[in-house]
Structure 1
Amino acid sequence: MAIALGYPSRQTLDDMKPTSSRRFRFVVFVFGIAFFAVLAGAVYQSKRTAADLAEFPPPGRMFSVNGVNFHLNCMGSGSPTLILEAGLGENSLSWHPVQSRLAQNMRVCSYDRPGLGWSDLIDTPIQPEHVAKNLRALLNKADIPSPYVLVGHSRGGIYVRAFYHQFPEETQGIVLVDSANEQGPMHQYHHAAWDYQKQAVLMAAAEPLARVGLVRLMGIANADRQPSPLPAEVVMAKTAVQNRTDTARAVVNEITVMRRGLDPSTPPPGSLGALPLLTLTAGNPIDLKLVEREAERLGKNIEAEKALAQIKQAEQNDLARLSSNSRHIIVRDSGHFIMHDQVDEFISAVIEFVKPLALKQ
């Protein structure tokens, strides 16, 4: 008669073996799936970007400046030439509602900064002074002679002022379109650091997602996420270039430089002397009654939003005082993109500003 001594059987021993090998196989399987998904996404993004650029070629011309291809789109004729500098992360198409109409009266050029629109990416963050030097080199390469009237929207306002401070003899006037401030984002606004930190984190996350096609698939960079004044074909072209793999990196670079404005040691905007200056300020963001209603509708802190509106008003007033030869217009019923919201008023104000400058030629 067999006596059970209490030792486990071979089957029991097999059942008791560590499960680490099964876990390892599972991890390898998961990583394999993830690897092939990333690879497929990268191939998809690359092919779609190539197809988009083939379907929507640059409306202007490409010029090589120090090994970097820049897109420049010029219309019209005459002197001085109006140079359009777009805002943060924007490209030359943001000027579509106004460029061709302004070109009926003068020569008007828009262009794309590195990594935006159709221009090549420069991988490292670029200081405003470098942006201005790139623009001047591009204009020289394209044989667009000075003098220039520089039009800067939002962040572009900082770039055009940097151009003037380096090349004052080539600058005949400046138009600031709801311009940013060198000391922004808003030294006096206690939520500024947090707001821009969130923005930087989101953009940093968007960059790797763009490389595997997820930004494109989710429609994050689409130009039609809200009603647009742009024609359908322009919205499609703008969406195509904004879904380029390089765009997210370019925006991250610009935000990186912009956030340095939070440093209290950042100097204020420099004087423009007696340079002809036109400051256009969007009326809606500084209308306290409108701001209060909008904050209430969105569930935001009403007092914080009103404080921000007052800071924006003060910053715009400060910018308008940079020149002793200045005019300041608050454009009513307009958001940040004045050239979209109030096209006729924008065009009239710019033509009126440039006309006496043209007579001096």
Structure 2
Amino acid sequence: MRFWGFAIISGLMAIAAQAQPAPPATPDPLLTPYVKPGILARLPDGRRIHLKCMGSGSPTVIMTAGLGDWAQTWRNIQPAIVKDSRVRACAWDRAGFGFSDGSTIEQGVDTTTSDLEAALKSAGIKGPYILVGHSMGGYETLLFKDRHPQEVIGMVLVDPSIPHQEARQKKAAPALPAFADEIYAGMRKKARDCAAAVASGKLTPTSPDPDNCLAYPPTYPRALSQALKTRDMSQARWAATISLTANFSRSTELVANPARDYGAMPLIVLSAEKMQQLPPGTPQAVFDQIPAFQLDLAQAHRELAALSLRGENRRVADSAHYIQDERPDLVIAAIKDVIAAARKTAR
């Protein structure tokens, strides 16, 4: 499946979304704004990075999806934020995902953050910014703040991945990253096979697709699936997505910064407490080590909240990794709280 729906619950749950019961085969009306691209910001090298922006006002909310996801992951959040908050909210797609072009450049969180910077500059989308990141999207959020400390005035991290993630997992629960590595390797092999089928002409937007290379969730409107299939005929799209997954371990170290200090910047970290369902065949050792994994992840989220004197870690007991889907009200509330606090500080 082209969009694997990685639930990178801190690097393990790459297949968790696939383990869930299949969603009803009915197009989701909340996806309507995401059927067509918004701004296709042209970068200096000619590539285009997609930004879907809604609303107007200040500050500007920049929303970053998790690994394997794209702008539509904010469909429950983005329209609600701009409805009565007098802000502009822009969700963007990494190279190779959503409506963004692919890239043959090696992909890591340093590269994707640079793409975001270049896209915002090209599109003329100026700060001050409130940054919102889910899962691995927390990495670009942290790095962007490091690079633009004065322009970022608030932050919400939604069940974020953490610095030194794989190293911490190997220490606290070594069965988990080992299992995830196997899953990722299988996904990359399938992606390479699908890319080869596209290159050979055996796979086209209208050809049979027995390996589900171009399969999309049944909640996607037909027009959206067709648009994405057409884009996925690009070899650079496949190359970018494979590279980003392969470099996830490197990204967990690139984001580490012991000097990070946010002063009194408004910051909320939302932490999911409900365990994501794992698929049949998951090794028993993985289940046995999940409590240790959860304890360390909770500690890491407290450490992220402590980056600011005004940082909060809000625990979400009744949601798994995709809080924006299961408890969108809490994500919306957190973003609005940070917007209000940032505006009060500015005044």
The match for 1:101 among 80, 84, 88 is: 80
Give the direction of change, closer, same or farther, for the CA distance of 1:87–1:221 in structure 2 (3 Å limit). Answer: farther
Residue equivalent to 1:195 = 179
% identical aligned pairs: 24
Deviations 1:314-343 (A, max 9, x none): 222222222222011111211111111111
Query: Match of 1:181, as an amino acid?
Result: I
Distance in 2 between the 1:252 and 1:96 partners?
25
Give the direction of change, closer, same or farther, for the CA distance of 1:242–1:205 in structure 2 (3 Å limit). Answer: farther
Answer whether contact 1:181 1:269 (CA < 8 A) is retained. no
Residue equivalent to 2:193 = 209
Distance in 1 between the 2:223 and 2:318 partners?
24
The match for 1:357 among 327, 332, 342 is: 342
Matches within 5 A, 1:317-328: 317-328=302-313
TM-score w.r.t. the length of structure 1 is 0.72
Answer whether contact 1:88 1:155 (CA < 8 A) is retained. yes
Deviations 1:101-133 (A, max 9, x none): 111122100111111111111213233233222
Structure 1 position 267, deviation (Å): 4.3
Residue equivalent to 1:60 = 38
Count the aligned residue pairs: 295
Residue equivalent to 1:339 = 324
**SS of aligned partner of 1:83:** strand
Matches within 5 A, 1:1-361: 58-66=36-44, 67-104=46-83, 105=85, 106-185=87-166, 186-188=169-171, 189-211=173-195, 212=197, 216-219=209-212, 222-224=215-217, 232=221, 236=225, 240=229, 246-260=236-250, 267=256, 270-274=259-263, 275-285=265-275, 300-301=284-285, 302-359=287-344, 360=346
**SS of aligned partner of 1:78:** coil
Question: What are structure 2's unaligned runs of at least 5 residues?
Answer: 1-33
Moved more, 90-99 or 183-192: 183-192
Give the direction of change, closer, same or farther, for the CA distance of 1:308–1:208 in structure 2 (3 Å limit). Answer: same
Distance in 2 between the 1:201 and 1:296 partners?
18
Larger helix percent:
1
Query: Match of 2:239, as an amino acid?
Result: R
Moved more, 232-241 or 117-126: 232-241
Give the direction of change, closer, same or farther, for the CA distance of 1:199–1:259 in structure 2 (3 Å limit). Answer: farther
Structure 1 position 294, deviation (Å): 7.2
* Higher Rg of the two aligned structures: 1
**SS of aligned partner of 1:218:** coil
Query: Match of 2:48, as an amino acid?
Result: N
Query: Match of 1:65, as an amino acid?
Result: L
**SS of aligned partner of 2:284:** coil
Structure number with greater CO (CA < 8 Å, separation at least 6) is 2
**SS of aligned partner of 2:96:** coil
Query: Match of 1:205, as an amino acid?
Result: K
Answer whether contact 1:270 1:322 (CA < 8 A) is retained. no
Residue equivalent to 2:19 = none
Question: What are structure 1's unaligned runs of at least 5 residues?
Answer: 1-55, 286-290
TM-score w.r.t. the length of structure 2 is 0.74
Structure 1 position 149, deviation (Å): 0.6
Deviations 1:167-220 (A, max 9, x none): 111111111111111211224231244234213311321222222167953336
Deviations 1:32-85 (A, max 9, x none): xxxxxxxxxxxxxxxxxxxxxxxx963312121111111111101111100001
Residue equivalent to 1:52 = none
